[in-house]
Amino acid sequence: MYSSDDPRAKLTGGAAVDALRFAGAEYVRFREFPARQCGDDAPTWYARGQNFVVAYTEAEAGAVLSRMEQLDEYMLLIPERKVEVTVEAPGETRVLSGHSLVIVPPGQSTITVHTPGIVVRVFSARSADLAAAAVNAASYMQQHPNIPPYEAWPAPPEGYRIRAYDLDVPPVKGRFGRIWRCSSVMINVLPLENGPRDLDRLSPHHHEDFEQGSLALQGSFTHHIRWPWTARFRDWRGDEHEVCPAPSLCVIPPPAIHTSAGSDPRINQLVDIFSPPRTDFSRMEGWVLNASEYPMPAERSV
């Protein structure tokens, strides 16, 4: 499990929902699938978990990404510093530089990319058109076990608007990653890793009632996943050690034991995705960088 100096060692788990049935993990290596065109200048790959959808776009200058009747908030991740975009929502327009995370309000919105580069949007699976566009949509025709029905978190008390956050957040001892949340999703933008992960310092752990999406933006990751044994031998699953070069998405179902290791000799970067936001992360003082803007559900804040 976590080493004693890992901030996550302080977390506590929840109650299992169904300990007898398990879903499989999802591994979507985007280069293995043709992109869907959001216009000729915005090839986009869609992949999903039970409750979220990732749209990974390699945008050319002038690309426009629009949502006309978006049901809820979504997140826009611009990992590269060179990329500049304009985000428009009703009554609001902002020009934003790269290396940032943006929360886009519900309703109509438009993202115009001015310099070519990667843009990633993360939606809840309530966006049925995007969920259907995912290359692994067939895996979610039925609700996966151990994941409760999706429930959005409270709206921001000051109202929906474009919110932008710089990814240049200095590390703080005892805080894990760089975490932001909105009413629909939570993203943890993990720091760049120089070279392969130390295989003597892995962190195998499990989640009892929520899934995790691990989006590889740079390098390559090996996802190590193990399922518990149950009384029914026919339901047992073998260990998996899947190599997923960037760009790729691994969806880890509960309660699989898992850990991921960057393996590229240069740079590796992973972004973790949760929908709805994680309660345990949210209860940790100082971990969610915009916690003051988004309240927790009342029954989970204690």
Q: What is the pLDDT of residues 66-87, one digit of tens each?
A: 999 999 999 999 999 999 999 9
124-149 average pLDDT score: 96
At 116, phi and psi to the nearest 5?
A: -65, 150
Judged by DSSP in three states, 196 sits in coil
**Per the domain annotation, does 300 fall within a domain?**
no
**Per the domain annotation, does 302 fall within a domain?**
no
**Per the domain annotation, does 278 fall within a domain?**
yes
Tell me the two tokens of residue 98. Answer: 């790269």
> What value does the mean pLDDT of the chain take?
93
**Per the domain annotation, does 277 fall within a domain?**
yes
**Per the domain annotation, does 45 fall within a domain?**
yes
At 149, phi and psi to the nearest 5?
A: -55, 145
CB of 117 closer than 8 Å to CB of 82: yes
DSSP string for residues in 1-24: ---TTSGGGG------S-SS--PP
Amino acid at 40: D
Q: pLDDT, tens digit, for every residue of 232-269? A: 898 899 999 999 999 999 999 999 999 999 999 999 99
Write the CATH number for 56.
Answer: 2.60.120.10
115-143 average pLDDT score: 97
| Residue 185 domain boundaries | 7-291
In the chain, what are the helix, strand and coil shares in percent, each to the nearest 5? 10, 40, 50
* CA-derived radius of gyration, the chain: 19
Q: pLDDT, tens digit, for every residue of 203-219? A: 999 999 999 999 999 99
Quote the number of domains for the chain.
1
Evaluate if residue 300 carries a pLDDT over 80.
no
Amino acid at 300: R
**Per the domain annotation, does 298 fall within a domain?**
no
CB of 37 closer than 8 Å to CB of 46: no
For the whole model, what pTM was predicted? 0.93
